[in-house]
């Protein structure tokens, strides 16, 4: 396969690279000739990824909630590469349930990983990127952060905050030659449900069903991210149905809200009938 010269030797740091979207993105950027720094809480997963890809991959175990781990990763990047061109803040978890059904402990868990893990990642690379006067940060959010849908309150709130933070960061670093993107996929078949927290089993079953029916794969999302690095773009909506949903919400917010309520009522009736 021909190597894309525009990515050759660029250093791409990816969190949550051991499975799902992170693994697909690592493989896509590796094919382009990039140097991959693959990070994951499960060190054995990124070790296996590095072994399968061969050269140009550095595997590091890290917890995105720990500042000391970020400091260690950046020290390794500085020593081994001297630069970082792309950061993909991909590591994340999910919780399902209404606001008052979700324990505070689950709220804190989601916020620590999905929001503050992203904030810490951005802070960790900005010094190096500013010194280079170049770089691209991709923060993995979700269409859940745009949809305002019920019964995913903690997860949706964290992802909405990631989008808002990314938008502000984009303005803050524009003069430094740094690009920022917010990735907002809908359902993609990944291992997200393995760690998902929900008080009722039907949430996990519903998510698995939607993942199976998705017409968009992790590789499709990885390609969208890759293209957004080559030709910078801020908001990445990877699923066709979410593009019209976002436009509908922006221009006709009350109509969108009523439509969403009808969908929630339909799902509730279906659940009651199945029971």
Which residues form the catalytic set?
155
3-class secondary structure, 97 = strand
Q: Is residue 89 within 8 Å of residue 15, measured between CB atoms?
A: yes
| Largest Cα–Cα separation, the chain | 60
Distance CA 59, CA 51 (A): 9
Q: How far apart are CA 168 and CA 28, in angstroms?
A: 28
CA dihedral 209, 212, 215, 220 (to 10 degrees): 120
Q: Which tokens belong to 44? A: 């054995």
First to last CA, the chain: 52
Helix orientation angle between 20-31 and 43-53, rounded to the nearest 10 degrees: 30
Tokens of 160: 């909405």
């Amino acid at each position: 396969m021909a190597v894309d010269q525009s990515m050759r030797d660029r250093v791409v740091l990816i969190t949550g690279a051991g499975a799902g979207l992170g693994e697909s993105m690592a493989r896509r950027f590796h094919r382009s000739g990039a140097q991959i720094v693959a990070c994951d809480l499960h060190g054995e997963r990124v070790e296996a990824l590095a072994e399968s890809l061969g050269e140009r991959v550095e595997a590091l175990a890290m917890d995105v909630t720990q500042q000391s781990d970020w400091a260690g990763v950046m020290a390794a990047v500085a020593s081994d590469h001297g630069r970082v061109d792309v950061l993909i803040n991909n590591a994340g978890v999910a919780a399902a349930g209404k606001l008052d059904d979700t324990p505070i402990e689950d709220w804190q868990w989601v916020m620590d990983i999905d929001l503050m893990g992203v904030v810490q990642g951005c802070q960790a690379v900005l010094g190096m990127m500013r010194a280079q006067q170049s770089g691209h940060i991709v923060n993995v959010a979700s269409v859940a952060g745009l949809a305002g849908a019920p019964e995913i309150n903690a997860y949706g709130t964290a992802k909405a905050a990631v989008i808002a933070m990314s938008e502000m960061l984009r303005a803050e670093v524009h003069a430094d030659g740094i690009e920022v993107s917010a990735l907002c996929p809908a359902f993609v078949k990944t291992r997200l449900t393995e760690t998902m927290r929900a008080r009722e089993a039907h949430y996990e079953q519903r998510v698995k069903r939607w993942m199976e029916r998705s017409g968009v794969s992790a590789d499709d999302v990885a390609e969208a991210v890759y293209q957004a690095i080559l030709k910078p773009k801020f908001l990445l909506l990877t699923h066709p149905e979410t593009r019209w949903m976002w436009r509908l919400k922006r221009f006709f917010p009350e109509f969108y809200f009523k439509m969403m309520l009808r969908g929630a009522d339909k799902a509730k009736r279906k659940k009651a009938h199945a029971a």
